[in-house]
Each structure stands twice: as structure tokens, then as C-alpha cells.
Amino acid sequence: MPLVSMRQLLDEAAKGGYGVGAFNVNNMEQIQAIMEAARETQSPVIIQASRGARAYSQDKFLYHLMLAATELYPEIPTVLHLDHGNSVETCKSAIEMGFTSVMMDGSLMPDGKTPSSFEYNVDATRQVVEMAHAKGITVEGEIGCLGGIEDGHGAGLDGLSHLTDPVQAEEFVKLTGLDALAIAIGTSHGAYKFTSKPTGETLKMERLMEIHRRLPNVHLVMHGSSSVPKELQDVINQYGGKLKPTWGVPVEEIQLGIRNGVRKINVDTDNRLAITGAIRKVFMEKPEEFDPRSYMKPAREAMKKVVAQRMVQFGQAGHAGDYTPISMEEMAARYQPVAV
Ligand SMILES: [Zn+2]
């Protein structure tokens, strides 16, 4: 099965009332971990690459690894998505490379740090929508600013400083015509999301529900949604790591989100923790090892376990075979206004 558009996956998820995890990758082992988890749980998947990942993998390596994934796992509907495109140019280069979905994060200026104006965001996102939809490619936008910094992208703000305004979100969707909307409800990128288990004061699920009430047909996206489980932190610290205590987004809050229009859930930190813990364990227990496979294999297995667990928790498990893929040409045709 060739790579498919994210729009199709999210439309199906909306019909089925489930969410789809979007997992970040930089290398072969992470792609393999996700695809194996998808096969085991029979899940459609969204694999995403940030600008940092594209630079790390020189883009081409990543793209061809993704093609290998579609050849080796033909039964799994697979999306290649650009995470946090900082400019129209970055989105354009991803589209040219063969990504089937892009995020234009116009909530920040192209420096990826400075919060932008509403007008700038609308203009940049609109340009990407026109360019992407002509090729059937999906567009995710963002309104409000997420907390923290991810791969050098982010204003480094507190998660609560630029929450999404529901009225503005409605206007933004109308003016841009995007497919999926990332909202800021208190979550942050990175491992240090909350200093204690989040409450309604720090994680604004009420606001998410209001946005969904206003935009019942828009696919909402939760960023910074790793759960940062204590077990994964403990493995790292048990084998010589020095993580400070931290809290992520509890899975039950994500599930509440899924019942209220969330269709894409971004997870990166949990996988990073799983990989690092597994590698540390081998290094501590078998200091004589020097074959990279001796620690990359358990690392890949540890990530696969986390991904498979999330796929079940988000509800996407069992849905890989529900539908036949729509070609990108057909998707492009669907975006064209119907002639009267
Ligand atoms: Zn993000």
C-alpha cells in the first residue's frame, strides 16, 4: 500500500470514534518499532518527522525508509507527516519530498520561537493549504502556542501562557480550510510537562470541549501528549540516569479528549524514554558489549511495547483493515470545489 493521506485516517477515526497516535522518528529502528506495533495491533499509523529529524536523516534516508515500511507492511495504512513546519518553504520541501501530510505551525514566526499574529498565521496556513490540497496532501495548523521546546522548535513558554481561544479557533478554521487543528490546552513538548499530576487548573480539558462544540467536524490534535510514565523514568534512573521527577498527560485525559474530537495524539517523549532506558540497562549490566545490535534490539523492542500500548489505549488497534486507501489524486479531486 502506498503512503496515504492523513485526512483519510482521521476521517475514519472520527467515524469510528477513536484516536490515532502520531509517533516521531529519526532512524530505522524507530520506524521498525512503530510498524511492528502496528502489525501486532492491526493499527493504521501516522509517522512524523520534525525539521530536526529531517536534518538528522538527510530527509532522503528517512523517506526511503518509509517506502520500505510500506513495502514490508502493505496491510497497514501509513501516513508520513511533517511535524511543526516553521514556514511555507519548509512545508513545500516536505511536499516535494513525498510527505502525505504537513503541519504548518504558523502560531510562531519562521524562527520557530516568536509567537506570531493571527493574520500571519492565517496567511501562511492558507498558502500551505492551497499548495498541499492541490496534491491531496493533508494540512494541520496550530492556533495558540504550545509550551516547551521540541527539537529546537518552540517559544519555551509555560503551557498556559498562550491557550487556544475557541472563538479565534473557529475563525481560523473558516479562513484557512485546514484539515486538522492543533490546540494549546496546557500541554508542553519535552519530558518536563507538569510538576505534579495535572489538574483542571493545568490541563484545560474544558477548553478542548468548548473548541469541539464550536468545531464538531474538525479533527483536533493534542501535542505534547506523552504520558511520561514513572516506570519508564525509573528504568533510566535505576541504570545511572538522572531524570528529575516529572508528570505527563495521563492516558485517561487523552481518552477524554478522544471522546471530544481529538483524532491525532502526538507522542515522542515516551518512546525516547523507553529507548534510553533499554540502552542504559544493557550498558550497566553488560559493560563488555560493543555490538550496537546488542543494545539497539532491546531499545527497539522497548519502544514497540510503548507504541503498541498507546495504539490500544487510543482505540486505533484493530482498524488497519477497515478501509481501502484513497489515492492522493482522488484526495486532490475531493478538495476541488464541485462545479455547478
Ligand atoms: Zn508538537
Q: Alpha-carbon dihedral of residues 303, 224, 98, 177, nearest 10 degrees?
A: 150
For residue 310, which of 7, 43, 49 has the smallest C-alpha distance?
Answer: 43
Tell me the one-letter amino acid at 41: T
3-state SS record for 59-90: CHHHHHHHHHHHHHCCCCCEEEEEEEECCHHH
C-alpha cell at 15: 467515524
How far does residue 290's CA lie from ligand 1's centre (Å)? 35
Could you give the 3-state DSSP secondary structure of residue 286?
coil
How far does residue 113's CA lie from ligand 1's centre (Å)? 13
How far does residue 340's CA lie from ligand 1's centre (Å)? 40
How far does residue 130's CA lie from ligand 1's centre (Å)? 22
pLDDT, tens digit only, all 340 positions of the chain? 889 999 999 999 999 999 999 999 999 999 999 999 999 999 999 999 999 999 999 999 999 999 999 999 999 999 999 999 999 999 999 999 999 999 999 999 999 989 999 999 999 999 999 999 999 999 999 999 887 776 677 777 777 778 999 999 999 999 999 999 999 998 888 888 888 888 888 889 999 999 999 999 999 999 999 999 999 999 999 999 999 999 999 999 999 999 999 999 999 999 999 999 999 999 999 999 999 999 999 999 999 999 999 999 999 999 999 999 999 999 999 997 655 5
CA 263 to chain centre: 10
Question: What pLDDT shows up at residue 146?
Answer: 82
Ligand 1 ion: nearby residues, β-carbon < 5 Å = 223
Choosing from 11, 59, 83, 268, which is the catalytic residue? 83
Question: What does the chain come to in residues?
Answer: 340
Active site residue 83: yes
For residue 148, which of 137, 162, 136, 138 has the smallest C-alpha distance?
Answer: 162
How far does residue 103's CA lie from ligand 1's centre (Å)? 9
How far does residue 282's CA lie from ligand 1's centre (Å)? 31
Could you give the 3-state DSSP secondary structure of residue 24?
strand
* DSSP of 178-233: -SEEEE-SS-BSSS--BSSS--TTTS-HHHHHHHHHH-TTSEEEE-S-----HHHH
Provide the whole-model pTM.
0.95
